[in-house]
Structure 1
Amino acid sequence: MKYKMFVKACEDCEKGEESVGPLTLQEQIWKAQLENFREIYLNGEINNNVIEKVVAQIQNINRRDDMLETQVLNYGREPITVYINSPGGRVFESFAVVSAIKTSKTPVRTVALGEAMSGGFLILLAGHERYAMPFAWLMYHELGSGSIGKAADVREYSEHLDELQKMITDFVTTNSLITEEALEDCHQRKSDWYMNVVEAMELEVIDGLWPLDLNSAEVPSEDGEAIEEE
């Protein structure tokens, strides 16, 4: 109950009302949590947990911003930042996060930390703004399947897989400079497409480096030499 009262007090502050008295240590901790609740960390394999950890938080922030827009004059939505360090995982859970980001009225920035691969690559690509740490690595690959069963079941699942792959291909080509021909070549070679931040920026997979002040610094190139960004 006390925490809810503190949240209400913080919302009153956003409306321009002054708080009374110094904050206790517990209230300082709560205040820090409220200030940082727009930072979401997607760390590890993409599975059912991302629905609660990422999707629910994006939706909750949007609901809070919707409410504050009706109560605060000239209210500005602060962006949500989703930090990604993931080797990938389940495709439908990846799509759930992609959908939550794409439909978010509050702007969402995605940031690759160490790795954003497979489903993590798609989530990174969904951001309204997209960034990566200097030594992050991204990876795209074709959908895989380990399905077994009757021949009819395998054929049906194969058709479904083709539809999913087309969705992914359309999504990647629409949100970057990566071409359908380049993806098809990757599929034909049956290989994973790894890219560092230099290639990712050239293909407009990301908008720049994170933190933002690094965009005037040197970043590693594919051959290990430094490249200075404008």
Structure 2
Amino acid sequence: MNFPTALTMPYVTETDGRIERSYDIFSLLLKNRIIMLGTPINDTVANLIVAQLLYLAREDSSKPISMYINSPGGQVYAGMAIYDTMQQIECPVSTVAVGFTASFGTILLTAGTKGMRYALPNATIHMHQPLGGAQGQATDIQIQAQEILR
């Protein structure tokens, strides 16, 4: 996963009278209630997205949040943390496919508020059957199979 570093992170400077403020681009997007998911989904990414959703919901639960998704998917339980948070908060969440969404990235795209799910003209959206492997005792395999099917 390639998060921007201090050397590659774009910054934006806003001037208000005599006050200048510099923001990294993701902070500026968050200030405008925009969340960008542009990586595979893992626990670290999920924690960041969940924290942003909760912060924006606390700031104003009536204003919509826009989530732009360019993700090939990733870890199921990490994705479920984002999905459940999107469903739990009161804010309407607009989801927009940009570039490529697949697997759990596509599930998050469909988790947006009804009537607020979009795809840009050149975005591609992919979905597949659940994948998983199982090993261990027969009862463990049965439990894992039930998890995949739900």
How would you bin the TM-score normalised by the shorter chain?
Answer: 0.7 to 0.9
Counterpart of 1:150 (choices 121, 134, 137) is 137
Name the residue aligned to 2:69: 84
- The count of aligned residue pairs is 130
TM-score by length of 2: 0.76
Instruction: Considering Cα pairs closer than 8 Å and 6+ residues apart, tell me whether 1 or 2 has the greater RCO.
Output: 2
Query: CA offsets, 1:141-178, max 9 Å, x none?
Result: 11111222233321221122222xxxxxxxxxxxxxxx
Q: Equivalent of 1:97, from 48, 63, 82? A: 82
More helix by share: 1
Q: Deviations over 1:5-55 (max 9, x none)?
A: xxxxxxxxxxxxxxxx824223xx35x845743111111211102332211
Contact 2:46 2:79 in 1 (8 A): no
Query: Of 102, 107, 126, which residue of structure 2 is paired with 1:139?
Result: 126
Q: What one-letter code is carried by the residue in structure 2 that aligns with 1:45? A: P
The AA in structure 1 aligned to 2:138 is A
Residue 42 of structure 1 corresponds to which residue in structure 2?
37
Structure with more of its chain in strand, by fraction? 2
Cα distance change, pair 156–47 in 1 and its aligned pair in 2 (3 A): same
Structure 1 residue runs without a partner (length 5+): 1-20, 67-76, 164-230
Structure 1's 86 and 34: CA in aligned 2 closer, same or farther, altered over 3 A?
A: closer
Cα RMSD, aligned residues only: 2.1
| Match runs of 1:64-213 below 5 Å | 64-65=59-60, 77-128=62-113, 129-163=116-150
Runs of 4 or more, structure 1, over 6 Å off, are none
Aligned to 1:197: none
Structure number with larger C-alpha Rg: 1
Percent identity, please.
34
